[in-house]
């Protein structure tokens, strides 16, 4: 993973967040109108399955952006934990797509952040904060151990699905456990490995 690209992306996202948080409601509405126009121009060129796929990706982008700015603005996270969460969420979103569309996605991301500021969603619950903290911690530990990580969600009897983790090298993601590890088991597994 290119550390310089990640640092640049985080700097860009942070600068976007700082800029929009300094604006008043009228300025944000103007920015939103310009970005809505941009979205319309981009999506109007697409048709059929390409348009459906793009709409799905742009919706996902705006959702991730709303979540990202909510974490950025949340004062209950410690500075280090917040930095890890913001970094891991940006990596997970931006570095899983074709690099040619990252600049387009940044505009949709900005629109999502503006939407969140203009119409805030429900504030982050303690369980969401804990899940975000664990996700970032696990991703950081896996990278430090030189492991590839993958996660999937499994329905549970509680209201929240259980996140299961798999770790390994690029050829084998089942080195840790075939059934997957929950968050606490994943942390224990990673901390138990020697470098």
The pLDDT averaged over each successive group of 10 residues in the chain (195 residues) is: 82 92 94 89 84 82 90 92 92 69 74 89 87 92 86 76 79 63 89 74
From 118, 137, 161, the end of a domain falls on 118
Same domain for 96 and 45:
yes
Overall residue count recorded for the chain in this entry: 195
CA nearest to 114, candidates 26, 9, 8, 7: 26
From 67, 85, 118, the end of a domain falls on 118
Residue 76 burial (CB < 10 Å; 0-12/13-18/19+)?
exposed
Same domain for 132 and 76:
no
From 93, 118, 143, the end of a domain falls on 118
Query: In the prediction, which pLDDT does 104 show?
Result: 66
Contacts of 110 (CB under 8 A, 6+ apart): 16, 20, 31, 35, 65
Same domain for 46 and 109:
yes
Domain range for 165 is 126-192
Same domain for 11 and 41:
yes
Query: In the prediction, which pLDDT does 50 show?
Result: 82
Same domain for 142 and 99:
no
Evaluate if pTM is beyond 0.85: no
Task: Count other C-beta atoms under 10 Å from residue 167's C-beta.
Answer: 25
Same domain for 144 and 48:
no
CA nearest to 88, candidates 160, 161, 141: 141
Same domain for 131 and 114:
no
Same domain for 94 and 17:
yes
Same domain for 76 and 136:
no
Same domain for 17 and 97:
yes
CA nearest to 139, candidates 6, 5, 15, 4: 6
Q: At what angle do helices 102-118 and 3-22 cross, to 10 degrees?
A: 30
Same domain for 162 and 86:
no
Query: In the prediction, which pLDDT does 194 show?
Result: 64
How many domains are contained in the chain?
2
Q: How far apart are CA 184 and CA 194, in angstroms?
A: 18
Same domain for 75 and 49:
yes
């Amino acid at each position: 993973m290119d550390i310089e690209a990640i640092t640049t992306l985080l700097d860009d996202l942070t600068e976007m967040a700082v800029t929009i948080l300094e604006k008043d409601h009228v300025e944000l509405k103007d920015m939103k109108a310009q970005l809505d126009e941009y979205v319309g121009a981009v999506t109007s060129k697409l048709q059929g399955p390409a348009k459906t796929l793009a709409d799905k990706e742009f919706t996902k982008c705006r959702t991730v952006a709303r979540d990202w700015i909510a974490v950025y603005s949340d004062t209950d996270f410690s500075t280090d934990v917040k930095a890890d969460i913001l970094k891991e969420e940006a990596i997970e979103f931006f570095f899983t797509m074709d690099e040619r569309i990252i600049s387009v996605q940044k505009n949709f991301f900005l629109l999502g952040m503006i939407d969140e500021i203009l119409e805030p969603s429900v504030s982050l619950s303690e369980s969401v904060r804990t899940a975000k903290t664990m996700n970032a911690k696990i991703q950081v530990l896996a990278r430090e151990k030189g492991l590839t990580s993958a996660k999937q969600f499994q329905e549970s009897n509680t209201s929240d699905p259980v996140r299961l983790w798999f770790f390994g090298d690029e050829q084998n993601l089942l080195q840790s456990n075939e059934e997957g590890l929950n968050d606490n088991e994943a942390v224990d597994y990673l901390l138990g490995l020697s470098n």
